[in-house]
Amino acid sequence: MTRAYGVGLIGWGVLLVLGARSTAVADLWTAGHGDLGPEIVKGTGEAADEVHLHLHLHKGAVVGGQELSDDGEFALGDVTVHVPRIAGSTYVNSYGSSAALWLVGQDQGTVASQSLQTRLGLPEYAFFWNLPDDAGLGGDYPFLGYGYHEEGWGTSDLKAKLTLVAFTGPVGGEFVLWRSGPKLVHMQTSDGISEATDFLEFTTDHGHANWSFSKVGAYTLTIRSDAYVLNGSVWDWIGSDQGTLNFQVVPEPSSLVLVGIGLGGCLLAGVVRGRRARRVARQKA
């Protein structure tokens, strides 16, 4: 397993203004529904079974400032997930011993808030950033779920597993993937990464979880997807695939990052115009 740290708040600001050279601005996913998971393809004839890990973004998702006119599949490295602070009045952005990390009306007694606080390595009442398992909190943010898509199997006796195998983030930045229920946390980075503990396993083709981050900055999650088919009482392994999913956690709601993108675009346009002008001057000379 590997673990490293990337840029902090200052570095994130510089990357934002300059257009984030390592991340194409056009690929920033800012709103709408999408799912992470494998496509499990049944081989025919001599062709082997295949597993392809991807993001399935639904019609209406906003990528690069444009709404998708239809569903689309993206490689993990081709999309950066935008994580803004959600300012909905029914959502608690800070938490501690007397504050709850839930929507009003949800079961707040399922998990003690200190548990998640500890897993994110945060002090009491510290702020954090979360892509929630609910699409209706107000504002624009990616609604990131998980699931699998089968092709050619003709059966629902399939199972998928997502395992965190590597992580980078800002200094002191931690990540937690969690749901309410008997097994709260599926992946967390504050105690290191282990394939034995940092995984999400599911037999449903669609579900949702919370993606939480402790600090502003750039994060990468390298995830492996394994697929299985039920053979009697035994789950037979079909295959696996792996990819790296990028996240940009920003200090304010979407308006700030859009201003930064606009500024970055202006700077880039100026550089392009300058290069063209110099080229024309050389040709005339």
Residue 277 has pLDDT above 60, yes or no: no
% of the chain surpassing 70 pLDDT: 63
Residue with more model confidence, 60 or 119: 60
Please name every residue paired with 185 in a beta bridge, in sequence order, or none if there are none. Answer: 178
- Reported as a single tens digit per residue, the pLDDT across 238-254 is 999 999 999 999 986 54
Helix (H, G, I), strand (E, B) or coil at 152: coil
Residue 280: the pLDDT is: 39
Cα 1 to chain centroid, rounded: 20
Residue 262: the pLDDT is: 45
Where along the chain do its domains lie?
2-284
> What is the mean predicted confidence (pLDDT) over 12-37?
64
Residue 43: the pLDDT is: 92
Residue 113: the pLDDT is: 54
On whether the CB atoms of residues 76 and 54 are closer than 8 A, the answer is yes
Indicate whether this model's pTM tops 0.85: no
Residue 25 has pLDDT above 90, yes or no: no
> What is the mean predicted confidence (pLDDT) over 48-58?
95
> What is the mean predicted confidence (pLDDT) over 29-54?
94
> What is the mean predicted confidence (pLDDT) over 39-64?
94
Residue 164 has pLDDT above 80, yes or no: yes
Residue 226 has pLDDT above 50, yes or no: yes
For 7, half-sphere exposure in the C-beta direction (CA atoms, 13 angstrom radius) is 16
Q: Where are the beta strands (DSSP E) in the chain?
A: 2-5, 28-41, 50-57, 62-63, 66-67, 72-74, 80-83, 129-131, 142-146, 149-151, 158-169, 175-178, 185-188, 199-202, 207-208, 210-213, 217-231, 234-249
Residue 279 has pLDDT above 80, yes or no: no
Residue 114: the pLDDT is: 60
